[in-house]
Structure 1
Amino acid sequence: MRNLIKSADPKVMKLHPLTNMRGRLIGLFLFVSCMAMGSAFALTLTPVKVAPDVYAFIGDTGGRTYENYGMNANTGFIVTTGGVVVIDSGAGYLAAQAMHRAIKQVTRQPVKYVVNTGGQDHRWLGNGYFREQGAEIIAARPARADMEQRAGMQLDALRVDLKERLDGTQPVYPDRLFEQRETLRLGGTEIQLQFFSGGHTPGDSVVWLPKQKVLFSGDLVYVDRLLGVLPFSNSRNWLASFEQMEKLKPNKIVPGHGKVCDLDLAQRDTRDYLRLLRGHMQKAYDSGADLQTAIDSLDQKAFSRLQNYETLKGGNASRVYLEIEAE
């Protein structure tokens, strides 16, 4: 064995220096390879410029997955000379960290505020990361109550799909709450936070930039994919909130889900669908139709072009009927 030499004890063999060096090089190669693989699979987010100093991260329109780190919703940020305002912190610590990496490619300004537009997991479970960076976290009061009620269930559900990619995520709640309206003035930029009546979740709010006429709608607007009426949703409040939102007359909307859009598309994909559900189910209930009859007679095919249509249409119809029944 050419690369081995005998020690004083014939039972013990020592490695030749060349073999020792070779082993170290192999170990270093494996370490660097593992680091490279980890980087390759880290979440990379690309900001979409919506207006000067206003950016969005457009999430997947499908479900939460291991590959997307639970980021199946839109988030964003606003750059000012006084710092950055982040709109929604993502579905966990690592997702928030990925957002911050992307923000740093645009500006060196620190993140001053994080606004949670609602209580869904991808709106707020990245708060812990941004709190560590010194950001103040803001939300409508009903959103915090919703977070506190559902945090445990959200974390349990996300852990199934995200596994170790949820590591470091803890429920960190907003420290600053507003009732109906709050105005932030940072670096000469006016940013209005408005809560109307909720909708998809009880605490859904919007972020409005009056000068730029850009609206971050949170989950009050879905485009490209069918919205979900969930057990905690309220379709009547949702339509009322949408009506208030329309009065702002935004030029551009960063919806909760789907591509950046105008008000016309938001009306077609969100408002018109909610009107269909409520109008049909109200008539069915008033005529004495039971739940199954009401569902069977509902024609939703005009919205079949939207992603997740087959998955969500039945539950949406059922929940709106039950909601009307309870009103």
Structure 2
Amino acid sequence: MLRLAQAAIVLAFLPLAAAAEVLKVHDVAPGIWAIEGPSEQRNPDNLGNNATFGLIETTEGAILVDPGGTWRGAEALHTMVRQLTKQPVTHVINTGGQDHRWLGNGYWLARGAAVIASEDAVADQEVRGSMQMTMLSQLLGDELQGTEVAYADVTFDEAHDLDLGGRHIEIRHPAAAHTPGDSFVWLPEERVVFTGDIVYVGRVLGVMEFSDSASWLDAFAAIEALEPLKVAPGHGPLTTLEQAKADTRDYLLNLRETMRAHIDQGGDIIDSVHVDQSAFAYLGQFETLAGRNAQAVFQQMEWEQLVCPGSVVEVTIYRSVRTRRPHRRKSACSPRR
């Protein structure tokens, strides 16, 4: 009977061990790691951890950058964390509103960790949480078990600083990007940045209905101004600022510039999928996302023309039809770029 019970326990933990194995660890600096999940779609094997996370060790506890995409995903992430540090996770940072940036919160809150997020991220999570849970139930099935909507218990508007165990950590929400509440985590002494979904490396980023391609460039510029030595992106391996520029900033600039020309020539949304993005065909998921991104940016830039006829909106309004909640940064018309 005892052997059966022991076998049952082993079997119960096998999926967690397998999910932890798909995570790749990158040494960023002493006591700092990037934990890279697979680039594939969310599935029962990765437990929703298809993103890059971060771990910062201090003498008073560990700080986790993003909690995992589900309760089980957070458990798998915790399995990896235990291999890297003996410190308990005392703080968890949500860098945005995508599911892998916050739906593991419940696991960490139950263990006494403080969870930190921007106010805009929490507002976005409140709007899209139910939809995300429905999506995950279809993609993960029984592996979604235990996952509940749980929000950060510490929120901030633009900036939040954390001093813990000899580390100084700056969390900044400069502008809407992939999601309305995207933030990055900056360690000035080490000159390391965890970008959340502001930076994608090795694969095409996703411009969604809730994204803002104009202010995304502002968010990227805020990171660029810091001149980080090492960049841990929201998706992909540890990288450099130059590679982040190539795969994220330059992609967005090219898409907006070619879309501006398409609109100026009277092009419509149907033909917008044909704007030239071929310079970025080397990026993963290009065939899947390029056309969808083009249509999303077309719609955004048409809106910008309505707000500021004859120019583009350099810093746009967060215009969710669901919440009617404006992003904290107001609209400002500027010459075309």
Task: State TM-score, norm by structure 2.
Answer: 0.86
Q: Which amino acid aligns with 1:307?
A: G
**1:111 Cα deviation (Å)?**
1.5
Q: Which amino acid aligns with 2:46?
A: N
Q: 2: distance between equivalents of 1:118 and 1:270?
A: 17
Q: Which residue of 2 aligns with 1:169?
A: 147
Correspondence 1:98-137 to 2 at 5 A: 98-137=76-115
**1:294 Cα deviation (Å)?**
3.3
Q: Which residue of 2 aligns with 1:40?
A: 14
Q: Which residue of 2 aligns with 1:283?
A: 261
Instruction: Please point out which of 145, 161, 178 is paired with 1:200.
Output: 178
**1:62 Cα deviation (Å)?**
1.7
Q: Does 1:304 align with 2:281?
A: yes
Q: 2: distance between equivalents of 1:173 and 1:185?
A: 22
Q: Does 1:70 align with 2:48?
A: yes
Q: Which has the higher mean CA deviation after the structures are superposed, 262-271 or 37-46?
A: 37-46
CA radius of gyration, larger in: 1
Q: 1: distance between equivalents of 2:236 and 2:208?
A: 18
Percent of aligned pairs with the same residue? Answer: 43
Q: 2: distance between equivalents of 1:276 and 1:120?
A: 25
Q: 2: distance between equivalents of 1:110 and 1:290?
A: 54
Q: Does 1:273 align with 2:251?
A: yes
Q: Which residue of 2 aligns with 1:319?
A: 296
Q: What is the Cα-based RMSD across aligned positions, in Å?
A: 1.4
Do the aligned residues in 1 keep the contact of 2:258 with 2:276 (CA within 8 Å)?
no
Do the aligned residues in 2 keep the contact of 1:77 with 1:86 (CA within 8 Å)?
yes
**1:154 Cα deviation (Å)?**
0.3
Q: Which residue of 2 aligns with 1:227?
A: 205
Q: Does 1:85 align with 2:63?
A: yes
Q: Secondary structure at the match of 1:313?
A: helix
Q: 2: distance between equivalents of 1:116 and 1:127?
A: 8
Q: Which residue of 1 aligns with 2:328?
A: none
Q: 2: distance between equivalents of 1:134 and 1:38?
A: 24
Q: Which amino acid aligns with 1:36?
A: V
Q: 1:97-137 deviations in whole A, cap 9, x for unaligned? A: 12222222222222111110000000000100100111111
Q: 1: distance between equivalents of 2:225 and 2:265?
A: 34
**1:31 Cα deviation (Å)?**
5.1
Q: 2: distance between equivalents of 1:54 and 1:99?
A: 15
Gaps of 5+ in 1: 1-23
Q: Which residue of 2 aligns with 1:7?
A: none
Aligned length: 300
Q: 1:152-204 deviations in whole A, cap 9, x for unaligned? A: 00001001111111111111101111111111000111000001112100000
Q: Secondary structure at the match of 1:233?
A: coil
Q: Secondary structure at the match of 2:233?
A: strand
Q: 2: distance between equivalents of 1:289 and 1:160?
A: 37
Q: 2: distance between equivalents of 1:289 and 1:305?
A: 26
Instruction: Please point out which of 219, 223, 239 is paired with 1:261.
Output: 239
Q: Which amino acid aligns with 1:243?
A: A
Q: 1:221-252 deviations in whole A, cap 9, x for unaligned? A: 00111111011001001011111110010111
**1:47 Cα deviation (Å)?**
3.3
Q: Which has the higher mean CA deviation after the structures are superposed, 287-296 or 193-202?
A: 287-296
Q: 2: distance between equivalents of 1:166 and 1:265?
A: 34
Q: Which residue of 1 aligns with 2:225?
A: 247
Task: State TM-score, norm by structure 1.
Answer: 0.88
Q: Which amino acid aligns with 1:300?
A: Q
Q: Which has the higher mean CA deviation after the structures are superposed, 74-83 or 100-109?
A: 100-109
